[in-house]
Amino acid sequence: MTVSFKKALVTGGAGFIGSHLTENLVAKGCRVTVLDNFSSGRRTNLTRVAADIDLIEGDIRDPLAVERAAKGCEVIFHLAAVVSVPQTVAQPLDSARVNDLGTLHVLEAARDAGSGAVVFASSSAVYGDDPGLPKRESMIPKPLSPYAVQKITGEYYARVYHELYGIDTASLRFFNVFGPRQDPSSPYSGVISIFMSKAVAQTGPIIYGDGTQSRDFVYVSDVVRAMIGAATTKAAAGQSINVGTGTSIDINRLWRTIAGMAGLSNVPRYDPPRAGDIIASVAAVDTAESLLGFKTEVSLEDGLERTFRWYAASQTTAGAYSQKGSENGD
């Protein structure tokens, strides 16, 4: 399958989701420029496509760097961000320079380059602790962290750039994304990456609270399909769209499933719940279905198996993760 555009910019393309997106675009015959400052991304995430892309080490806080990177790009996928919620809590101003001003630099670069479309990586964090389920795009955002404020601000700017300047901007609210290459090294890394690394190391994890809290986990290749769909669907312009599966699993069952893959039967340690942890999260998926014709394809079980195989193949003796695991974890 090919895409209708020939040249794209992926900001944050050396990161977890951005590197999968970049590989997929290259496989579809698209020329890709990646702009990344490697603050959380890695060059090794792009090893497979290194010869086929233009990799620019640069910062979205630098408007000239973004402008240069965007030249000639018909589509911009904007994923570069300070992604750690606690980091934005500790450093609201520094993170706003990246997540707010950096996003404006990307939108301005799109205007300057005459790009037709921008797809912005937003987050289900914009819903905060709204108790309503499933989370619908029509709910009033209740951001609870600088990160969530910055994401909803990016969405508003994206919409305004569509209305004022006619750029087809779409904001995708990712739920809990998982898959190969997700970095498990911080205590605030995605729970699946942490559970995978523990299972592979044959140790038990910490579960915060009683483990009955639940999340909508969406596999990274489905997120990539949604992003490409949003870039090529006129009806997505100016919209905010959930990207999730519409189903959820609780954290106890998640660990039991992963432990089963590793042949582990040990009991997790239970610690007090994290401050601000939400009890339940699940996406309403009808907007993605009606606007993008999007449905997830990878089941949780299949995604977990692929991810487990990748972590198992990639674990080095130092406990870090290399790129030995194959693309699909098989």
CB 269, min distance to ligand NAD, A: 24
Contact status: 188 vs ligand NAD (CB under 6 A):
no
Q: Which amino acid is at 310?
A: W
- Total residues at the site for ligand UD1 (CB under 6 A)? 20
Compute the distance between CA of residue 171 and CA of residue 173 in angstroms, rounded to an integer.
6
Compute the distance between CA of residue 18 and CA of residue 34 in angstroms, rounded to an integer.
9
Residues 58-117, interacting with ligand NAD (CB under 6 A): 59-61, 79-83, 98, 102
Residues 177, 190 contacting (CB under 8 angstroms): yes
Which one of ligand UD1, ligand NAD, none is in contact with 171 (Cβ closer than 5 to 8 A by kind)? Answer: none
Q: Which of 205, 229, 246, 329 binds ligand UD1 (CB under 6 A)?
A: 205
Token pair, residue 55, equals 């990799």
Stretch that binds ligand NAD, among 54-62, 132-140, 286-294, 314-322 (CB under 6 A): 54-62
Q: Which amino acid is at 85?
A: V
Q: Tell me which DSSP letter residue 99 carries.
A: I
- Residue tagged 């729970």 (tokens): 191
CB 19, min distance to ligand NAD, A: 8
CB 257, min distance to ligand UD1, A: 14
Compute the distance between CA of residue 165 and CA of residue 223 in angstroms, rounded to an integer.
27
- Total residues at the site for ligand NAD (CB under 6 A)? 29
Q: Which of 37, 242, 248, 314 binds ligand NAD (CB under 6 A)?
A: 37
CB 180, min distance to ligand NAD, A: 12
Q: Which of 9, 82, 118, 191 binds ligand UD1 (CB under 6 A)?
A: 191
Compute the distance between CA of residue 290 and CA of residue 244 in angstroms, rounded to an integer.
14
Task: Name every residue whose Cβ is closer than 8 Å to that of residue 312 and which is 6 or more positions away in sequence.
Answer: 200, 325
Residues 210-229, interacting with ligand NAD (CB under 6 A): none
Burial of 149: CB neighbours in 10 Å, binned 0-12, 13-18, 19+: buried
Q: Tell me which DSSP letter residue 15 carries.
A: S
**Is residue 119 classed as helix, strand or coil in its secondary structure?**
strand
157 is catalytic: no
Q: Which of 34, 69, 118, 125 binds ligand UD1 (CB under 6 A)?
A: 125
Contact status: 213 vs ligand UD1 (CB under 6 A):
yes
Binding site for ligand NAD (CB under 6 A): 12, 14-18, 35-41, 59-61, 79-83, 98, 102, 121, 123, 174, 176-177, 190
Which residue numbers are catalytic?
Answer: 147
